[in-house]
Amino acid sequence: MITTNQKYRPSTLADVYGQEEAVSYFQAVGRRPQIAARNYTLLGPSGCGKTTLVRAFASGVACAGEDPLQSPNYMEFDSSSLRTEAQMDGMLPYIFSEVDGWKVVLFDEAHLLPVEVQKKLLKPLEDFVGQIFFFFATTEAEGMISPLVNRCLQFTLRSFSETELRAYLIEVLGKETVVCSDKFVRLATFLSGGLVRNLLNQIDLLKVMGEEEYLASQSRLPSAVQNYFLGKGSGPIEDLCRFPFVIVRDGLDRFFRNEIIRDKKYFRTGEIGKIYVNYLRFKSLVKTDQDFYSVLHLWKESFEGSLKDGSHG
């Protein structure tokens, strides 16, 4: 059984939700590929549609409307797997081999390419004049070396507003003939963190759990946050990993704000104040969605003793 995300993943540029600037440009490229730039970087948060956009473009310009993943005219690399110069040297002839018609090559999570591996691409990208489009999708522009970025035309993909997500969720619920309350719509929109992928995941949860259980389980976020960081109960990290990282982050910020309001003097002088200062320090280390929970682990470990002794009140 396919997920709601898989079912509604766009296969053509016309189906891509939002991202109007990028969609309009790449539709124009599809009409006149011979005169278009060949190298692109796509920057945006995880789940905003970078990979989907490239596959939709490839389907139209290089794969005759077919699934790019089944076509020799499309190549997609998990950049974390290309770790050495020797690996890249071995891949370059394959990457730059020409096919009948156009070809599209995507380096997903391009910031994970080591610097020396990125450098291996500089001269080939600059000198190549064949029928290949190159895409570097990333959540971290600073992880890519400037000479590589400078060889590319950059597009920044955005997360979506609450109004946009709400409208899209209602549209998909209608297509799926799923009956639910406005409370679900509001909560699912909030929990999406501005990303369509997270939004559609909420529909799958609703189908499996039913609305009553779904609403009850999602309302446990504040207690999960409190348990994990103030040592009340076991508070396993899994309780938090069910939620988008932006929701956990905002939940923690809200929790600490409430503590400040409740007792400003104790907050300044008590253990909770010290924990908050360290929370801010560790939060500043977060650079990507993926390392958020690793940073939280480090933060909790740094205060493990004080969390166990109950001195936070």
How does pLDDT run across 154-204, given as a tens digit for each residue?
999 988 888 999 999 999 999 999 999 998 998 888 777 778 888 898 999
pLDDT recorded at residue 248: 66
What pLDDT does residue 78 have?
93
pLDDT score recorded for residue 190: 75
Q: What is the pLDDT of residue 214?
A: 83
Residue 252 has pLDDT above 80, yes or no: no
The whole-angstrom separation of Cα 51 and Cα 218 is: 29
What does the pLDDT average to over 110-120?
Answer: 96
pLDDT (mean) for 238-249? 60
Cβ atoms of 72 and 99 closer than 8 Å: yes
State whether residue 106 is helix, strand or coil: strand
Distances (CA, A) of 98 to 94, 102, 136, 246: 9, 8, 19, 42
Residue 243 has pLDDT above 50, yes or no: yes
* E strand segments, 201-302: none
| Residue whose pair of structure tokens reads 């470990």 in the numeric block | 301
Cα 153 to Cα 31, 95, 97, 219, 270: the distances in Å are: 18, 20, 22, 43, 51
Most confident of 146-150, 227-231, 252-256: 146-150
Q: For position 309, what pLDDT does the model report?
A: 46
Query: What is the model's pLDDT at position 294?
Result: 66
User: What residue type is 183 in one-letter code?
Assistant: K
Confidence category of residue 106, pLDDT binned at 50, 70, 90: very high
Question: pLDDT digit string (tens) for 1-58?
Answer: 789 999 999 999 999 988 999 999 999 999 999 999 999 999 998 778 999 999 999 9
**What pLDDT is stored for residue 312 in this prediction?**
38
Residues forming a β-bridge with 108: 78
* Alpha-carbon distance values, 208 to 202, 221, 224, 241 (Å): 10, 19, 22, 19
Contacts of 255 (CB under 8 A, 6+ apart): 222, 225, 226, 229
State the pLDDT at residue 11.
92
When pLDDT is cut at 50, 70 and 90, the band that residue 250 belongs to is low
Percent of the chain with pLDDT over 70: 70
Please tell me the predicted confidence (pLDDT) of residue 162.
Answer: 83
Amino acid at residue number 61: V
Residue range 227-236: mean pLDDT, rounded: 49
Report the mean per-residue pLDDT for the chain.
Answer: 82
Q: What is the pLDDT of residue 177?
A: 94
